[in-house]
Structure 1
């Protein structure tokens, strides 16, 4: 038995949808005789009468109605494939897996990612907030499509895009005498109880280096791996600190006051990608959105950053 072809099925569907050979021909952009021939050939191949002539028109038989249900299922499936391809082209489908260091994951990046998803209604997101070494490990093992980690990156061969750096800021308990200053310098921390990040971290090294160079003696009572814990303790009134700008903004007005600090100590991080494959287009789109947002944030820097109080 000869096989039916897609044009015959298309003619049948067009006839069922439009109700006439004339309209079916318009739908298919062919002549009426061409549609009639396709329908005759289909009926012959199926050995089944699909349409009965009533007056000047054709009416579908019960067999045609039953067959149409199966045909429509197939066409819906094809439509879904077409729609999926359009979604992929538009970078709006699938699941994007992100790992980000806590400074970004505690508020700033989730808000940005939320706006990113609103523009891509069929994109799903898996978001993990973990310390930078774990971000690197997960990206290396392809557990995430993109990671955001503090630099320097331990694995030099890992594909990465460095993102705009923002300066760290001073964080003070609300009501602290130094809140009256527009900018803080190392000597303002002389004798102050200082809440520090853990020894061995890049941030801790950079901050300690500044105070050692200026021969400023702080009272180091607490150290922690997370800037959220640091700001939480500052809000209790226990002491002061130097913090990344993202976490500081999350706590600003919640018992914490942030002020510019000089000399500038940049908070630097990068987007990293699995080495086994090229970065996904949607991951690159997200990184570009982050880059643009950081540039805008950098331009809208904290007032008073150039004045020394």
Structure 2
């Protein structure tokens, strides 16, 4: 296999880009004879005619056009590496891959991430809304740079950062009798048709525990694995529910009323990172922005966006 000189390739590319030896020389900051020699040696090395004389200039042959496509791919790759290095230094580069549980991905986190991207014009985003076990699986397999999952985290080996917890809230159909109260307690739900999260989940266990402590009997009408389904059922007037604050916010004003619930049942989640490498600086920046936003949100009254 022939050993190609990089300057010869650079001269060939400059010639293809500019269309003349004179302009190619200017592009390379060398003399015209130097470009001519590089092109001549390149053709001899490849045993291929790349340019043919037409009038006072040179025109590329079909072989040159085909070769240029490969050369340009290589040069674009090299230029992208240099640009990427600069962007990495400015924490603005590439694509940040996020997986997040549905409670966050149904509105709150996309809005936050959108503002985050506006300040980083060279950063792209791949965003996936999946249930917490899948978030952990994708991060474990290095399919995402950062994941947001409900705690406890099933895999203890993943680096994680706990985020500020917010209390779960009561969600009621618009016009429901309990909407007259600013704060609801378990005993208020005695005999109420109830829309619940699926059995076996951490959230379901915590919510059931609060009602069982006061020996409150609810009428369990529906079980759903997603809080969006639960809130959709509530909006139909079917029943009431206890929900994470993020999904409740998305449904408030869409046939759903949100009220404070006591005793406080925190909705807890964390940012998780692949174990095989250090978290990317831009992922850590996102976590910092989210921590600040959640801290501000925790100080607002329920029902105030």
- What is residue 222 of structure 1 aligned with on the other side? 221
Distance 2:52 2:138 in 1: 61
1:95-174 correspondence to structure 2 within 5 Å: 96=97, 98=99, 100-112=100-112, 123=124, 125=126, 127-130=128-131, 132-142=132-142, 144-174=144-174
Residue deviations 1:73-113 (CA, integer Å, cap 9, x gap):
35422332035323574565468362x33322434345555
TM-score (norm 2): 0.73
Alpha-carbon shift at residue 169 of structure 1 (Å):
1.0
Contact residue 9 and residue 71 of structure 1 kept, 8 A:
no
Contact residue 197 and residue 204 of structure 1 kept, 8 A:
yes
- What is residue 59 of structure 1 aligned with on the other side? 57
Question: Does 2:217 align with 1:183?
Answer: no
Question: Does 2:103 align with 1:80?
Answer: no
- What is residue 252 of structure 1 aligned with on the other side? 252
1:12-27 correspondence to structure 2 within 5 Å: 13-14=13-14, 17=18, 19=20, 21=22, 23-27=23-27
Distance 2:210 2:278 in 1: 39
Distance 1:42 1:157 in 2: 56
Question: Does 2:241 align with 1:241?
Answer: yes
Q: Unaligned regions of 5+ residues in structure 2, if any?
A: none
Q: Secondary structure at the match of 1:234?
A: helix
Q: Relative to 1, partners in 2 of residues 1:97 and 1:264: Cα closer, same or farther, differing over 3 Å?
A: closer
Alpha-carbon shift at residue 219 of structure 1 (Å):
1.9
Q: Relative to 1, partners in 2 of residues 1:297 and 1:68: Cα closer, same or farther, differing over 3 Å?
A: farther
Distance 1:212 1:121 in 2: 52
Alpha-carbon shift at residue 286 of structure 1 (Å):
5.1
- What is residue 5 of structure 2 aligned with on the other side? 5
Q: Relative to 1, partners in 2 of residues 1:111 and 1:277: Cα closer, same or farther, differing over 3 Å?
A: same
Q: Relative to 1, partners in 2 of residues 1:125 and 1:150: Cα closer, same or farther, differing over 3 Å?
A: same
Residue deviations 1:247-277 (CA, integer Å, cap 9, x gap):
2122212221111223432211112234344
Q: Relative to 1, partners in 2 of residues 1:180 and 1:14: Cα closer, same or farther, differing over 3 Å?
A: same
TM-score (norm 1): 0.72
